[in-house]
Amino acid sequence: MFELDLRSRKPIYEQLVDKMKELIINEVLKPDEQLPSVRQMAQQLTINPNTIQKAYRELETQGFIYSLKGKGSFVNPMDTGKDIDKILQVKQDLEKLLNEALYLGVSAEALHELVKSVEATKGGHGQDDSNDRNK
């Protein structure tokens, strides 16, 4: 499914969380699709099952997956009404990163091109929000 960098300074469970989120956001993993069991994933990736369990717990906490006792873990369908707090947090984080990039000398044009590039690879699934703060 994906590869992890065992030599990275980033903990394995965080790498796993990031990869799973990427697969869910890019709709490689569809809503309500069952994820591999902890045991299966641990065997595939040859890592400790506790690491997989920790990643799954984190994904569940963040709302990307849900678990059914005795059945497994599944991709959580995204409910935009429920994700308003998450969207606001992402916008705040993005604003901080944009300010930092501008401070470091990245041009507004380069940032705009980056946004257009990301949007193109995502297929323009973003929402138009008239409350966005313009820089």
* DSSP class of 127: -
Q: Count Cβ atoms within 10 A of the Cβ of residue 24 and give its class: 0-12 exposed, 13-18 middle, 19 or more buried.
A: buried
| Helix 108-122 vs helix 84-103: crossing angle, to nearest 10 | 140
pLDDT at 133: 42
pLDDT at 132: 45
Max CA pair span of the chain: 52
**pTM of this prediction?**
0.63
pLDDT one-digit tens code per residue, 34-86: 999 999 999 999 999 999 999 999 999 988 999 999 999 999 987 655 566 77
Q: What is the mean pLDDT of residues 24-30?
A: 86
In contact, 63 and 56? CB cutoff 8 Å: no
Is the pLDDT reported for residue 2 higher than 80? Answer: no
DSSP letters along 9-74, please?
Answer: SS-HHHHHHHHHHHHHHTTSSPTTPBPPPHHHHHHHHTS-HHHHHHHHHHHHHTTSEEEETTTEEE
Question: Quick one: pLDDT band at residue 126, thresholds 50, 70, 90?
Answer: very low
Mean of all residue pLDDT scores within the chain: 84
Is the pLDDT reported for residue 6 higher than 80? Answer: yes
Q: What is the dihedral of CA 73, 4, 28, 87, to 10 degrees?
A: 80
pLDDT at 1: 65
CA dihedral (9, 10, 13, 15) positive or negative? negative
pLDDT at 130: 41
